[in-house]
Copies of this chain bind each other. A is one copy, B any other.
Amino acid sequence: MSEDDTARHNAKMRKIKEARDRMMATKTEEKGLIMVHTGKGKGKSSSGFGMIMRCIAHDMPCAVVQFIKGTWVTGEAELLRNRFPEECRFFISGEGFTWETQDRERDVAAARRGWEIAKAQIRDPDIRFVLLDEINIALRYDYLDIDEVVDFLLAAKPAMTHVCLTGRNAKPELIEAADLVTEMTLVKHPFRDGIKAQQGVEF
């Protein structure tokens, strides 16, 4: 790159920086966020667990309620329970995907137990971040009532507490109530080529 090009590049970058600084200066508020990770792509749960890592690093007490338990032992569950039992409370309320258990009544009961735990953790003034992993599955099949969940989040969540809800097919009511919504979109997936779920990637 020539000296001229470098100068042009640096000038452009300076302009971007100035615009960004002006924009960020208007962002002065803090609040506890309702966050939703949905869509068919990867990364909904893993980015929730990535935020849990950030909380642990910043000494922010946090909690995870897992609404669905897969057939494999997940690494994140193992790591949190073995290495960070003080920093992060970890609960599993589901008993496997619905198509594993084949028992609606049991799934509804498990989801309700999970939701009771979730409410207690969200209300707890010591807890600053709550991850409700795969709760959208329980909401989608109406194991939990969407209005009850949204009403609770809007009315009873302490102002500074963050709550992150993950899972495909997030209901419109939840998206409407949320502050931050990300859709993980599948662009390409190796299952299509016969590659199975692998340690470290999917679990």
Chain A contact residues, CB within 8 Å of chain B: 1, 6, 9-10, 13-14, 16-17, 20, 24, 26-31, 33, 35-37, 39, 41-51, 53-58, 60, 62, 74-76, 78-79, 82-83, 98-100, 102-105, 128-129, 162, 175, 178-191, 193-201, 203
Contacts and interface: CB of A to CB of B under 8 A. Distances in A.
A192 to B, nearest CB: 9
Contacts of A187: 36, 175, 181-183
Nearest to A202: B54
Contacts of A9: 104
Given A162-B198, A180-B188, A180-B189, 6 more contacts: A10-B102, A10-B104, A13-B104, A30-B196, A35-B42, A46-B47
A105 to B, nearest CB: 7
Contacts of A53: 46, 49-50, 53, 75-76, 79
A65 to B, nearest CB: 17
A120 B83 CA distance: 29
A133 to B, nearest CB: 11
Contacts of A78: 57
Nearest to A18: B99
Contact of A57 (B46, B57, B79, B98): B79
